[in-house]
Structure formats: structure tokens, C-alpha cells
Copies of this chain bind each other. A is one copy, B any other.
Amino acid sequence: MPTRAFEYYHANRERFLEGLIALLKIPSISALPDHKADVQHVAQLLAGEFRSMDMERVEIIEGREGQNPLVYSEWLKAPGKPTILFYGHYDVQPPDPLEEWISPPFEPSIRNENIYARGSSDDKGQTYLLVKAVEGYLQGEGRLPVNVKFLIEGEEEVGGEHIEAFVPKNTGKLAADAAVICDTEMFAPGLPTLTTGLRGLVYTEVEARGAGHDLHSGMYGGAAPNPVEALAKILARLKGPDGRIRISGFYKRVERPSAKELAAWKRLPFKEKEFLKKEVGSTALTGEKNYSVLERLWSRPTLEVHGIRGGFTGEGAKTVIPAAATAKISMRLVPTMDPKEAVHEFEAAVKKLTPKGIKTTVRVISSAPASVVSTENRYIEAAAEAMKQVFRKKTVYIRSGGSIPIAGLFDKHLKTPVVMMGFGLPDDRLHSPNEKFHLPNFYRGIEAVGRFMEMVGRS
């Protein structure tokens, strides 16, 4: 790695951290309409960073009414060299339940080399390390070893409508030899990791309606339909006690990973007991018994309910049969499953399970296919080598149970290999209270991305 870039990284650690803190202070929660101004604020802040680090071009790309802007930037002065498209997202999940945070979600707090804040790991910290890797190289060396494009979105946590429309229409602008997504995690602390597969996601809201208005449960209980009960019955029947999803046709396209990949997963330092105790914190794991935990998380589809509400939930007692109830239900999909087909099958299953006297409606909030990446290309190999050099351990290949719709989108429209370099840790508590990012990984991430660019530019 060239000396001056390396020195720049080290000399600017404190400034990089200050920049990250400024970013984390802004509650850019894409799920809550009240935070539109915060979302805009972060987009402006990132654009400002790109301008001051001498990128050739910086754009804030507004979408349709209500959509959050994309931040685009490029530096294309390395003729004959490959072009890398860097991706991250600047929006974050809602922070509730607020009372469980040790320090407030938007007042970053550093404890034990970790920075605690909503979005610290997912994905502001990881987005920002890409920016700083490029800044350091450009400022230190006066040039980049490759051509670089950035595309940073603000709707990753809510379905990414804007980017989904933007990518297919701008394949020329976004053309690249490889895309680097920095939004995943390492399998274990200190173990460099590339993610080569992601589950897809279909996220829905199911509403059940019974009587025309709330009824007195004494006067009507025993004869009037109860939509909470109906929703409970539907939910209970969508998945068996064996963890198997009971939706007709749901598994027909599900394929098992190759024997080689499964064997590699077995070699990973995974301890079920520790996973249960330290990460999940319940008394037992659930799911399909015939599959290992990693298979259940990475290569099996799931159905989860994320939230439910209906009727009286305040203090004390109200004897009411509610008129309506709602649940948020998603399905994680594995490669070769078709999201549209899954939605149809789900809708049919809900309809079939709806008891008499009840009307149900299914609304699809977001939808994205799963994706897998071949490990046999020079960009994946360069990333693995760069991470190995920084962490001084052999890089492992894993999949993730999460969904990064953009991976499928890049693959489909840009036809580029997608490299998922991630520096989060399994206990980063993404989407949960007390989300954190391990600061040494922030700095190592910057260096690994620098080395990756250098390596790709050299060949």
C-alpha cells in the first residue's frame, strides 16, 4: 500500500471519528415521515464531504414526491483502470423501544472501543468508511488507483423505491467493473469475512376486520367474530411447530447450497450455545430441526411477524371485541425463489385461513429477491486478500440471512460482480436498542478498502 495514503489514514483518525459522530447525530429515520428534514440533512452533509475531498462530480438526486435523495459522486481520471461502484445507505431504523438504550440513540457515546448510536453499524459507519478510504487515498496520493463511483441511498430500511427505479434507467452512468457494498458483518471479531449470499424479502401488512365497530365483549362475546383471534389463528397456521412454513408451493424452488459451501460453513467458528446465550438471549432456539442453525439463517426461507396491534392495549381492562387488527409479516426468500410468486402464495394462504365473519387484506410494503455471488472473480479475490492483509487472518466466505435488495439490483441491471465487504460484528445489535460499531473495525475497514483499490488498480 502506498505510504502517503496509509499515513493520511493514520494522521486523520480523530477527524474521521468526528465526521462519523456528526453523521450519527442526525436521526435520518426513513420509516418515519417526521424525519424527512433529517434525511435531507444527511444527504447534504455527505455531498459536502464529496465536494471537499475533490471528487470530480457530486450530485444530490431527488426522486418522486416523498422519496429520499440518492447521493452520487464520481472520480474517473484513471483511464484504462477498472471502475468500482461503492454503495452504502445513510438512512437508519427507528430507535424504539427508546427506554432500552443505555445512551440516547442519536447522541453517539463511546464505550470500550465501540461507538453506540442508531446507524453506527447499519449503515452510516460502514458507508462513511468507504468515503474516508477514497478521501484518504485521493488526498494522500493526489490520485486514485481506480475509477470510482459512489451511490448512497436513503431508503434502504424502507424498501428502496427510489434506487430501484433509478438503477435500471441509469445503467450507463453507473457502469462499473465491480460493485462494493459495505453493509454486512464479519462472522466473528477479527475474522475477515466476505458475504456471498443474501436472503430476499417480502414485507407485508395484513389487516383483519370483523364487526363494523368495537363491541362490548359481554354483550357479543360468543357470537361476534374477533379479528385479533382471527389474525392469531392465521399466524399460528402459517408456520408449523416444526418451523416449516405452511404456504402451498412455498418451498418448490428452494435449493440446498453446494456440498462444498455447506462444508465450509461447518468449519466456521460457530457455537450454538453461545449464539443462543449471547446473541439471542432466550431459553431455546426454534426453527427447522433438520437444518443446522446457519442453514436456517442463511439458506432457508422464513416467515416472521414483526409487530401486531389491535383493540385495547392500555393500562387496565377494557372489555371490547375490537373491530380490526393488523400485523406486519415478512418472508425471507432464498436464491431461486420469486418474490412475486411468494406474494401470491402468501395472499392465497391468508385468504384460505381467514375464518368466516372476518375480512383480510394483504398490503405489500416491499419486495426483493435473494442473491448469491460466485467467489471466483478477481474483485472478490482482491477483497479477500485486502482484508486478510489488514486483519492478518484468512478471509472466510459466508452468507447472510438479511436482505440487501441493491445486491440483486446491481447484479441484474449492471451485470457487475457484487463484493460485500462488511466490518460489522455479530453483536452490533442492528435494528435493536444499543446498536454499536466497533471503532477498530471502522479504521481497519478504511485501510482494507484502500488496499482493495490499490490491488485492483495494479493488475
What is the bound-complex CA distance between A283 and B300, given in angstroms? Answer: 38
Among B32, B211, B332, contact of A218 (Cβ-Cβ < 8 Å): B332
B210–A282 contact, CB under 8 A?
A: yes
Write out, one digit per residue, whether chain A residues 416-459 have a CB within 8 A of any chain B CB (1) or not (0). Answer: 00000000001001111110000000000000000000000000
Interface residues of A in 92-131 (CB under 8 A from B): 93-94, 96-97, 100
What is the bound-complex CA distance between A293 and B330, given in angstroms? Answer: 38
Known: A222-B332, A312-B306, A320-B306. A356 touches B283 (CB 8 A): yes
Counting chain B CB atoms within 10 Å of each CB, the highest count among A233, A305, A356, A403 belongs to A305
Among B302, B328, B366, contact of A313 (Cβ-Cβ < 8 Å): B328
Question: Is A19 among interface residues, defined by CB-CB distance under 8 A?
Answer: no
What is the bound-complex CA distance between A158 and B426, given in angstroms? Answer: 45
Among B94, B220, B237, B317, contact of A297 (Cβ-Cβ < 8 Å): B220
Question: Is A236 among interface residues, defined by CB-CB distance under 8 A?
Answer: yes
Binds B, one of A53-61, A246-254, A357-365, A380-388: A357-365
Among B217, B236, B283, contact of A306 (Cβ-Cβ < 8 Å): B217
Question: Is A279 among interface residues, defined by CB-CB distance under 8 A?
Answer: yes
Interface residues of A in 265-313 (CB under 8 A from B): 275, 279-288, 293, 296-297, 300, 302, 304-313
Question: Is A325 among interface residues, defined by CB-CB distance under 8 A?
Answer: yes
A32–B315 contact, CB under 8 A?
A: yes
A213–B100 contact, CB under 8 A?
A: yes
A320–B214 contact, CB under 8 A?
A: no
Interface residues of A in 363-385 (CB under 8 A from B): 365-366
A313–B326 contact, CB under 8 A?
A: yes
Question: Is A189 among interface residues, defined by CB-CB distance under 8 A?
Answer: no
Interface residues of A in 206-243 (CB under 8 A from B): 209-226, 228-229, 231-233, 235-237, 239, 241, 243
Closest 8 CB pairs of A and B: A212-B281, A218-B402, A307-B311, A236-B236, A232-B235, A284-B357, A222-B296, A307-B312
